[in-house]
Each structure stands twice: as C-alpha cells, then as structure tokens.
C-alpha cells in the first residue's frame, strides 16, 4: 500500500493551523531544565468549524514556529502508540517507560485526552487514516 504524505493529508482534509508563542507547556513534567530553555507554542488546528488547541514545545535550537506538518506528525505518532496499546502498562512497556512512574502515567493520560480531541477534530475514519496510512516525517 502506498502511503500518502502528511502534506497531502493536510490538503485533502483542509486543515489549517494558527501558532502563538506561549510562556510554558502545561503538559511538560520535565525537571531536567529542558522545559525552561525550550520554545513553547500554542497551536490551534482547525478543520471547518472544528478546532483543537495543542501546547507544543521544541528545543532551544528550533527558533522558528512549528509547522502544521510537524505538529500533526507528533500528534499522529502519539495517537498511534495510544491506539495500539490496550492499557497503560502495554503502552509504557512498548515505549520503555516504568509502569510505576507517575510521570509516565501523566504522559499517557495527556496523550489519551489529546487523542480524543484529535478524534473529534478529524472523525474516526480520518484519525485511522492519519495513524495508519500517512507517511511519518
């Protein structure tokens, strides 16, 4: 099966994104200092009247705003891992997280909510196409 590019998926689904700088990312639970030096963004992805707001962070070397392709690729990657796992323990094991880690569980719960929001934005058929039929960046 030939996979479509993420740019083509965006074009076909008529997704758009507005990006604004943010002071922080409420989902980061990093205590290694990375969160303090990273660039944080508030990304609003729209499809018709539907919209989804995503906090997005990039390392300090990335000074340009993220593109829709980059943000959607990250969302697709997270959603794919979440949708393919039956439980937190399966997800954590697949990604090498400690199943006793509160930070890992926080990440899992964040991705759970984010995947539900992405499903509302795209609908069930398109989220499956995004996670299974779109080429990763």
Contact 107, 29 (CB under 8 A): yes
Q: Is 31's pLDDT higher than 70?
A: no
Contact 128, 7 (CB under 8 A): no
Helix residue ranges, H only, 22-122: 34-37, 68-83, 88-95, 102-122
81-119 confidence digits (pLDDT tens) = 999 999 999 999 999 999 998 888 989 999 999 999 999
- Does pTM top 0.75 for this prediction? yes
Question: Which class for 137: exposed (0-12), middle (13-18), buried (19 or more C-beta within 10 A)?
Answer: middle
What pLDDT score does 36 carry? 80
End-to-end CA distance of the chain: 18
46-85 confidence digits (pLDDT tens) = 999 999 999 999 998 998 999 999 999 999 999 999 999 9
State the average pLDDT over residues 22-40: 80
Question: For residue 15, what are its two tokens?
Answer: 């997704």
């Amino acid at each position: 099966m030939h996979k479509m590019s993420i740019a083509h998926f965006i074009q076909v689904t008529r997704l758009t994104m507005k990006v604004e700088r943010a002071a922080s990312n409420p989902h980061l639970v990093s205590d290694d200092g990375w969160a303090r030096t990273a660039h944080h963004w508030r990304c609003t992805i729209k499809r018709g009247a539907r919209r989804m707001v995503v906090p997005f962070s990039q390392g300090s070397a990335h000074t340009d705003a993220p593109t829709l392709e980059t943000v959607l690729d990250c969302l697709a990657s997270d959603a794919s891992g979440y949708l393919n796992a039956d439980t937190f323990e399966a997800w954590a094991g697949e990604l090498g997280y400690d199943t006793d880690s509160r930070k890992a569980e926080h990440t899992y719960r964040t991705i759970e909510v984010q995947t539900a929001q992405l499903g509302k934005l795209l609908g069930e058929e398109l989220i499956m196409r995004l996670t299974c039929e779109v080429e990763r960046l």
